[in-house]
Amino acid sequence: MRFEDKVVYQIYPKSFQDSNGDGWGDINGIRSRIDYLAGLGVDYLWLTPFFPSPQRDNGYDVADYRAVDPRFGTMADLEALIAEAEMRGIGLMFDMVFNHTSTAHEWFQKALQGDAKYMDYYIFRDGTPDAPPTNWQSKFGGSAWEYVPHLGKWYLHLFDVTQADLNWENPAVREELKDILRFWKAKGVKGFRFDVVNLISKGEFVDDKEGDGRRFYTDGPHVHECLKELVHDSGIEGMVTVGEMSSTTIANCIRYTNPAEHELSMTFSFHHLKVDYKDGDKWSLMEPDIHALKEIFASWQEGMARGGGWNAVFWCNHDQPRIVSRFGATGRYWKESAKMLAAAIHLMRGTPYIYQGEEIGMTNADFTDIADYRDVESINYHDILRASGLSEEETMKIIGARSRDNGRTPMQWTAGESAGFTTGTPWLGVNHNHAAINVEAEREDDDSILAFYRRLIALRKEYRIIAEGSIRFLERENDDVIAYERALGSERLLVLCNFRASDIAMPELHAAGEKLIGNYPGMAARLRPYEVVALRWVE
Ligand code: TEU
C-alpha cells in the first residue's frame, strides 16, 4: 500500500492546544480541535513524542515508550483521541525514537549501575577520561561521547548527552523495540514515524579524518536488515510508516521504500532544506538557491520514481524554520507565496505532510533575546557561535533564522490573548503577529491560505493524476521557476511556480489546459510574483 492519495498533518503537542491552562499543549487540547483537522481533510495525524521524558530535547529523549507524560494527559485521554479521530476517518501515527533513549530510561539507569545486560543495550567503549573513542561530533555540538567515571567507559550520543544511542546489534534491543510497536498497534494506532532511523546501524568506530563521523553510521551496514526485521516481526507491515533519514541518498531511500523490500512506506530527506546553508553549514546564512532547489527536487522526484520508491513531501516540521519566512515572503506577498509553496509540493509525486500552522501561513518566531529560546540546539549553538568570535547581534541574526523554535511557537488559533493556545503562560512565546495570522481569521475566508490547503487536499483525492501520475521536471535552466509535468495515461498536469517576488516570463510550455488551481485570478501574459498555476488537459 502506497498511501498515494493520503495527506498527513503533523502535530507538535506541546504547542498545539492547551486544555488546562498550564501553558503546555496536551492531548485533550488536540481532542478539542479534532473537527478542525477533519475539516481540513487530512487522513493521518503524526504526533511528535508525548511519552514520559525529561524534555531535554522536547520529548525526543524518551524515558518510557509505553506511557503518556502526565503533562500531556493520561492514557485514557490518548485512547479517547484515537477513537475520536478514527470516527472521523483519521488515523494516528506515533513517533518512535528508536535510535536512542533518554538517559533517564530505566535501561540506561540499570546500565549505569553496571548491569551487563543493560550496558549491552547501549554503545559503551573503554577509555581514559582524556580520550574519547572517536572524534565524532554530536548533532547538537561537541563530542558525541560522554565519559562515565565510575564505569571507566564512554557512551555514544549522536544527539544530546542525555540521549544515549541504542545498540541495535544486540537482538534483545531489537525485541524490546518490536514489543513497543505491538503495544501501540494494539491500542489502535495506524502508523509510525521513525526518528533518525537511518542512523541506527553503526559501522566502524574509528576517527573521521574528513568529517564529523556521519559517514560511519549514516545508512549504516545493517540498517536495511534491521528495518525489515523490525517491520516484519512486529506485525506492522501494511501500516503507514515514514522514516526520518538524515543525510541520506536516493539509492538508499529507494531501498527503504520500494514495496518489494518490505521496509517503510516513505522517507523524509532534507537536501531541499539546505539550499540556504552557506557551504552546507546550517549556521551560515545565505539566500536560498532556487536553481539548486529545483535540481534537488528533480533528482529526488524522478530518481525515486525510477527506482520504485516513494517520497514524503514537506517544507516544514518541528526542526525547521517556517517556510514563508524562508523561501517565501512575510510582507506584501505573504499570502501568495504561502500558497505557491503549498501547491509546489502538494502537486508533486509523494505523500504531503503539513506541519501545524503551515496551513495558515505562520512565520518564524519574533524573538530577539536568547533567553526567549528553549531549544537545546539553539542554546548550544548560541554559545558556540559567540565563542567563534561572532558578536551577539550577528549570533542572534543566525539563531533567529535557523532556530528550531521558529517552528515551535504556539499554534495561532485566534487574535486574542496567547492566540487562544492557552489561558496560562505559554511554555514558548506566542508570535505577536497572531493578531493578524490565525485560524479564526482564515476559517471563513475563501481566499485564505487555509482554504487553499483544504482545496489542495481535496484535489489529491479528486484527481488520480496528482496521487499516481508520473513526474518530469521542465525548464531546468530557468532559475526563477520550478516547473514540472505529471502524466497519467493521456492526462497531463503542468505545474508552474514562480519563486520570485517579481513577475517573470511565462515559460512557453502550456497547452490550452484547464486551470485546476492557482493563487491569482485568471491567467496573465507573465507569471505574477510568487504565482503558481496548475493546468490540466487530456492529450
Ligand atoms: O531530528 C533529527 C535531525 O538530525 C535533525 O533534524 C536535527 O534536529 C537537525 O539536524 C539539527 O540541526 C530528529 C527529531 O526530529 C529532532 O526533533 C530530534 O531532536 C532528533 O531527531 C533527536 O531525536
CATH H superfamily, domain 8-101+170-457: Glycosidases (3.20.20.80)
Ligand 1 pocket test, candidate residues 102, 137, 195, most atoms within 8 A of CB:
195
Collapsed DSSP state (helix, strand, coil) of residue 537:
strand
- Per-residue confidence (pLDDT) for residue 509, from 0 to 100: 76
In this structure, what are the phi and psi dihedrals at residue 44, rounded to the nearest 5 degrees?
-135, 150
- Grid coordinates 545498540 are at which residue? 167
Mean pLDDT of 131-153: 97
**Three-state secondary structure string covering 22-34:** CCCCCHHHHHHCH
Residue percentage of the chain with pLDDT more than 70: 99
159 lines ligand 1 (CB under 6 A): yes
Mean pLDDT of 307-332: 98
- Per-residue confidence (pLDDT) for residue 299, from 0 to 100: 98
Checking if the pLDDT of 48 tops 60, the result is: yes
Across the chain, mean pLDDT equals: 97
- Residue 240: its H or E element: strand 240-244
Architecture of the CATH domain 467-538: Sandwich (2.60)
Checking if the pLDDT of 1 tops 70, the result is: no
Domain boundaries, the chain: 8-101+170-457, 106-164, 467-538
375 lines ligand 1 (CB under 6 A): no
Mean pLDDT of 49-77: 98
Checking if the pLDDT of 371 tops 60, the result is: yes
CA 10 / ligand 1 centre spacing (Å): 15
Checking if the pLDDT of 508 tops 90, the result is: no
Asked if this assembly's ipTM is beyond 0.90, the reply is: yes
Ligand 1 pocket test, candidate residues 159, 271, 384, most atoms within 8 A of CB:
159
Indicate which atom in ligand 1 lies nearest the CA of residue 318.
17
- Give the helix, strand, coil percentages of the chain, each rounded to 5: 35, 20, 45
Residue percentage of the chain with pLDDT more than 90: 98
Q: Which neighbouring-strand residues pair with 267? A: 243, 311
If 0-12 CB within 10 Å is exposed, 13-18 middle and 19+ buried, where does residue 282 land? Answer: middle
In this structure, what are the phi and psi dihedrals at residue 89, rounded to the nearest 5 degrees?
75, 20
Q: Indicate the DSSP class of residue 390.
A: -
Checking if the pLDDT of 250 tops 60, the result is: yes
- 106-164 folds as Oligo-1,6-glucosidase; domain 2 (3.90.400)
pLDDT in tens, 151-202: 999 999 999 999 999 999 999 999 999 999 999 999 999 999 999 999 999 9
CA 319 / ligand 1 centre spacing (Å): 6
If 0-12 CB within 10 Å is exposed, 13-18 middle and 19+ buried, where does residue 509 land? Answer: middle
- Residue 354: its H or E element: strand 351-355
- Per-residue confidence (pLDDT) for residue 443, from 0 to 100: 96
500 lines ligand 1 (CB under 6 A): no
Collapsed DSSP state (helix, strand, coil) of residue 366:
coil
- Per-residue confidence (pLDDT) for residue 510, from 0 to 100: 66
